[in-house]
Structures are given as structure tokens and as C-alpha cells.
Amino acid sequence: MFTNIRDPQQHSEFTAFSKQGQFYLFCYDETLTHRLTKAVPQTRNGAVTKIVAHAERLAAVISEEEFDFDRAKAEVTAVTKL
């Protein structure tokens, strides 16, 4: 999952994870056939809140001209198996 911290809706939705007791992962294969659903418990150590705070700090030091979410996502996707 990729989340653009500068997109208000994505920011809000990701932040909402910190208030949930659990969230669900729905897994599909390459033909888009549903294969698996998993309930993942939310940790109580505030991991999502910490991730959001860290992402906000990083985004704050990147200029508007240099911030390119789509390019960054493409580069990460190209070098990983995400």
C-alpha cells in the first residue's frame, strides 16, 4: 500500500487506522479472484501514529517542486516486489 502524505484524503484515511482495533487485508491473485482475507490486529504501541508523524516530517522538508509521489512510487515498485 502506498499513501501520499500530502493528499488530504489519503492522509486522513491512513491516520484513521490508528483508531481502529484491527484492519482487514483482502488478497487477490493476478486474475482478481479473491484468495484470502486476514484480520490484522492494530498494535497498541502507536505504530501508525508514529509512521504518520515521521512521514509528515519528511514531507515538510521536500520542496513542492521536488515532491513527486507518482515518481517515487514507480521507483520503489521497480526495485522491490511490492
Helix (H, G, I), strand (E, B) or coil at 68: coil
pLDDT at 23: 83
In the block, which residue shows the cell 521536500? 62
Write out the chain's pLDDT in tens, 82 residues.
Answer: 799 999 999 999 988 877 888 888 899 999 999 999 999 887 767 788 888 999 999 999 999 999 999 999 999 999 987 6
| Residues sharing a CB contact under 8 Å with residue 5, sequence separation 6 or more, in sequence order | 11, 14, 52, 55, 56, 58, 59
3-state secondary structure of 72: helix
> Could you give the 3-state DSSP secondary structure of residue 74?
helix
pTM comes to 0.69
